[in-house]
Amino acid sequence: MQRVFEWITGHRRGVVTAGAIVVLAAALAAQDLELDYSVEQFFPTWGDERAVFDDYRQVFAQEDAQVAFFLDTPRGLDASAYATLRAVAGAFEREGLEDVWWAGRIGDVARASPDPAALDSVSTTLRADPLFTSVLWSRDGAVHTVQAVLPPARNSDAERRRVASSLDREITALEIEGRWTLSGTPMLRAQVPELLERDQSILLGGGIVLFFVVLYAFVGHAGRALLALAAVIPGYVATLALMAVLGRPVTIMSSFIPIVVLVVGVCDSTHLLVHWGRHRGRGMTAPAAAVATFTELAWSCFFTSLTTALGFLSLVATGIGVIVDFGTFTAFAVMATFAFTMSLLPALLAFGGGTAPRAPRLPSLLVRPVVGWAWAAQSRGSIRPLTAFALVSAACLAAGRGIPIDAYLVDDLKEDTRIIQDLRWIEQSGFALFQTNVFLRADGRELAAPGMLAWMERFQRAVEREPIVASTFALPDLLGAAASGATRASPADVDGLARAVYRPEAGAAQIVVTVQDAGSLRTLPFLIRIEQMLDADPPPSGTAHVTGTVLMAHTFSSHVLRSFAPSIVLALVMIWLVMTGLFRSVRLGLVALVPNLFPLIVLVGLMGALDIPLKPSSILVFSIAFGIAVDDSIHLMGRFRHLLGRGWDRRRAIRRALCETGPALVMSTVVVSAGFGLLLLSRFELLHLVGLLTATTAVAALAADLFVFPALLGVEGSSGGSRRRAPALHPTDPSGRRPLTAPPRTMASTEGARTSGAFRSVPSARAP
C-alpha cells in the first residue's frame, strides 16, 4: 500500500491530469442523460394489481391527464368571471388540450349575453345540474373551473413542463382579480419536480459553500478546504455517466445522490486532512505526509465506503425499480468517490510545500472539551456510559412506538407552500384531483344492460358516503341525466362524455371515483372497503377491479414500508460481515454494530416525539444516518486495532485511539451537521426532515463513538477479549508528539502539552 501511494505522489502531475481527463470524459457522456419524474416509475412492476392497471390504461389512456383551472367566484358567474373563464378556455385550446369544458359550453350559457342579471339566472340554473356539479362548479357556486385533458401522446415530463409554463404565463397576463390556481395531475407532476430541482440546486450549492466555510475554520487554509470537497464532483459525474451509458434516467430519488456523496466524501476527506496535518506538523514534507496518511487510513476509508455502499445496496430488497436504481447507483457513487479520493487527493496534497500548516484556534475550542469528556469517561470505567446509553435507547424506543405510518400523493411539501395551499383550497371547495377507478370488463352490451346500470348506480351511492370521496361519475349519470332532461348539455356532448367511462368496442367501462389526498391512514382503509364492497356485491356480469394511480401509489408506499425492516436487517448483516472480516473477530464485529444502532434508535425516538410519519422518503434518511454512524466507528476501531497490533494494551489503546481519531470525528460531525442543517430552510418537507434528522443523527453517532463504543470495547476486553501488554519502550503522549519520560503517576502533568498538526489541544483527563 505504501508503494502505491509513493507512486501516486511521485507521479502527481500525471495522476491529476489523468483524473481531469476521466472527469471530462464522464461529463461528456453524462450529457445524454435524461430526466424522468413520472409517477408510474414508483409503481410495482409485478403482481395482479399491475396487470390490471396496465390493461386499464390501454383502454382509458386519459386517466390522470386532466388539467384544471379553478377560479374563486363569490358573486357567482358574473360578467368578469365569465370573461376570465372564456379567456382561460381559449388558452387551453391554443395549447392543444382536448375536451375543454367550462360553464360557457353548457346549453344557453354559450349564447347568453354577459349581462349580470342574465348570467346570474343561468348560473342559478346550472347549479342544479347534477352532471357537472363538483366538476365545473362547486355546489355553492363560489368556485368555477375550466377542465381539459392533456393528450396521452403529450403526457411526458418535458411536455407537461412546457404546457404548465406556457399556460401559467398566459393566465398570469390576464391579471385576474381574486384567487385562482392552475392544477390537475399533469400540472402537479410538472410543478413539484421543478420546485424540487430549484430547491436542491440552491440548498446543495449553499451546503457546499457552508461545508467550505466550516472546513476552512477547522483547517485554516482555503486550498485544503477545497480539497476536502474534491472527491464529490468526480464521483457524482462518474455516476451520471454510468447512468447515461446504461440508459437510466435521473429520477426524483436519484436526484438525492449528490447529498449522499457530499457526506461520504467530506467525512473521509476530513479524517485524511487531519492526519495529513498531524504528519506535516511533525516535520514531514507534503509528499511524505500524504504517503504516511493514506497508507494508514486507506483501509479504514475503504471499509467506511464499502459499508455505506452496502447499506444503500440493501435497498434492492424493496423490489421497486426506482428505489433499486437509487440504491445501486448511490452505492456506485460512494465507491467512485472513494476511488477518486484515494487517487486524486494524495496527488493534490503532495503539491503542498513550505512550512507546516498552522492550526487555527477554532478546533481547539470545539474539540478539546468533547474529546476531553470522552477521555474522562473512559478513565472512570464503562458503567456510566453504558447505563446512559441503555436509558436513552429505552426512552427513544418508547417514544418511537407511536410513529405514524402515513404517505400522501402530493407528499413532502410544507403546508405553507403555494401548491399545498391551493390543493387544500380545491378540496375544501368540494373538488378532488385524484381518481380511484373501478374497471369493468364484460361484453359491451352487458355493460349497458339495465341490471348492470342498476348495480353501478348502487355502487356509486355506497361509495359516495365515504368521507374522502368528492364525487363519482359513471354511465348511469349520463343516461339518467339525458333521459330526464336534468342536464343542459347537448346530446352530442353527452355522447362525448360517455367515451370517458364506456368503451363498448373494448368491452370495458369504469366508475370514476374522485378522492381527496387524505393520506394512507385514511385512503388505504377506504380502498380495502371498496374491495369488500365488490366482494359482497359483485357486478351481475363480467369482472370489476379497483385500480388507478391512487391505488398504485399507495400500494407502492405499503410495499416499501413492508420491505423497510428486511432491508435494514440485510444492511446490518452485510455490514456485520464486513466488520467481522475487517477486525478478524466475530465478537468485535458484533460490538461494532451496537453503537451504529444507537443513531437509528435516536432517529426513531425523534420521529415518534415530533410525530413525524414513516413513509418511503424516510428510508432515505435512515440510509444516510446509518452510513454516517458506520463511518466514524470504522475509523475509531481501525486505529484501535492498529495500536493493538503495535503492542499496546487494550485500555491504553482505546484512549490513544480516542485522542487520534476524536478530533476528526468531532470535525466531520460539525461539518455534516452544519451542511445538513441548511436543509431546514427547504420548502420540501423531505429535505427539511433530511436536514433535521441527519444532523441529529450525526450528533448521536458522535456520542456513541466517543462514549459508548470505547466502553463496549473495554467490557469486551475484560470479558475475555485479547489483551496485549504495552511495549517495552515508553509510549508517546496522547498528542502523539514526543515520548513520555515521566512515570505514570505524573503523566497528567504532561497532558496539557500542545500538539502540532491540525489540533493543538489534548484532553486534560487523568491518563492511564
What confidence tier does 112 reach under pLDDT thresholds 50, 70, 90?
Answer: low
Q: 3-state DSSP call for residue 690?
A: helix
Cα separation, 130 vs 489, whole angstroms = 11
State residue 171's pLDDT score. Answer: 94
State residue 183's pLDDT score. Answer: 92
Residue 419: partners with Cβ closer than 8 Å, 6 or more residues away: 188, 191, 192, 195, 410, 413
Nearest partner of 141 among 213, 210, 73, judged by Cα: 73
- Least confident window among 337-341, 544-548, 710-714, 726-730: 726-730
pLDDT tens column, 410-424: 777 778 888 889 999
Whose cell is 363560489? That residue is 142
Four-point Cα dihedral 675, 673, 615, 256, nearest 10: 30
State residue 250's pLDDT score. Answer: 82
Whose cell is 489540533? That residue is 759
Q: 3-state DSSP call for residue 72?
A: strand
Cα separation, 323 vs 329, whole angstroms = 10
What confidence tier does 728 reach under pLDDT thresholds 50, 70, 90?
Answer: very low
Query: Is the pLDDT confidence value at 38 over 70?
Result: no
Query: What's the pTM?
Result: 0.74
DSSP class of residue 71 equals: E
For residue 703, how many C-alpha atoms fall within 13 Å in the half-sphere facing its CB? Answer: 17
State residue 378's pLDDT score. Answer: 65
Cα separation, 743 vs 489, whole angstroms = 101
Per DSSP (E only), the strands in 463-571 are 469-473, 502-503, 508-515, 543-547
Per DSSP, the residues of 609-623 read HTTPPB-HHHHHHHH
Cα separation, 474 vs 530, whole angstroms = 16
Pinpoint the residues of the chain covered by CATH 1.20.1640.10: 1-31+220-359, 366-401+563-726
Cα separation, 160 vs 490, whole angstroms = 31
What confidence tier does 463 reach under pLDDT thresholds 50, 70, 90?
Answer: very high
More confident residue, 385 or 24: 24
Q: Confirm if 588 and 716 have CB atoms less than 8 A apart.
A: yes
Supply the angle between the helices 685-703 and 650-677 in degrees, to the nearest 10. 160
Query: Is the pLDDT confidence value at 734 over 80?
Result: no
Q: How far apart are the first and last CA of the chain?
A: 33
Query: In the CATH hierarchy, which top-level class contains the domain 1-31+220-359?
Result: mainly alpha
Q: Confirm if 263 and 209 have CB atoms less than 8 A apart.
A: no
pLDDT tens column, 587-614: 777 877 777 788 888 888 888 888 888 7
Fold of 422-553: Alpha-Beta Plaits (3.30.70)
Q: Tell me which range, 218-232, 282-296, 315-329, 722-736, is most confidently predicted by mean pLDDT.
A: 282-296
Pinpoint the residues of the chain covered by CATH 3.30.70.1320: 422-553
For 366-401+563-726, CATH gives 1.20.1640.10
Q: How is residue 504 written as a grid cell? A: 363498448
Distances (CA, A) of 205 to 4, 230, 566, 624: 34, 14, 35, 19
Share of the chain above pLDDT 70, in %: 81
Per DSSP, the residues of 224-284 read HHHHTTTTHHHHHHHHHHHHHHTTPPB-TTGGGHHHHHHHHHHHHHHHHHHHHHHHHHTT-
pLDDT tens column, 428-455: 888 888 889 999 998 777 888 889 999 9
State residue 593's pLDDT score. Answer: 79
Cα separation, 148 vs 109, whole angstroms = 18
